[in-house]
Structure 1
């Protein structure tokens, strides 16, 4: 049976959470820029390419530490993703009736 190195799982989860937060912050930034632009496709393509390349680079570095670190990375990424989705899907607050 293979032993799980919990230290590397923790470091991998920390790296995955940080990478996920940066990934989705970059997505929000790219979407904001694209919606205000006359050429949104170009901005979204560049933003996506940069975010994917950075995520793959960090994942590659973490995977080099072993399966425990990679498992922690995936766990951290998915947990932060779920947290971001919960926040993003909240309904907008009711602002009340307009005076006009």
Structure 2
């Protein structure tokens, strides 16, 4: 059995997933900053989460319509972006944040 992979579609999915991850986590950071300054953080966190999750699902559904290769690339791009950001922002022994 020969498996054919649509490499341009996979690359498009990978790039789309990385962009979606960047927007998702930028929204998370904004929501957390705003919630920490608010006397009622739930009023900010719940709508922020709903919008972020909804947009991510909509983007994933659109990408899934393009094909399996695009969807696999999208998932991999999102996950890889997440891993890179977790490693980059991991607190260091002497301080916190990017070093």
Counterpart of 1:28 in structure 2 is 29
Q: Which of these two proteins has the greater Rg computed from alpha carbons?
A: 1
- Structure 1 residue 90: Cα displacement: 2.9
Report the secondary structure of 1:48's partner residue: helix
Cα distance in 2, alignment partners of residues 89 and 63 from structure 1: 32
Tell me, yes or no, if structure 1 residue 64 matches structure 2 residue 61. Answer: no
For this pair of structures, how many residues does the alignment match? 94
TM-score w.r.t. length of structure 1: 0.89
Distance 1:2 1:59 in 2: 23
1:49-99 Cα deviation digits (max 9, x unpaired): 0000010011011000000000000110011000111122132645xxxxx
Within 5 Å, give how 1:75-86 maps onto structure 2: 75-86=76-87
What is the TM-score with the length of structure 2 in the denominator? 0.89
Structure 1 stretches (4+) deviating beyond 6 angstroms? none
What residue ranges of structure 1 are gaps of 5+ in the alignment? 95-100
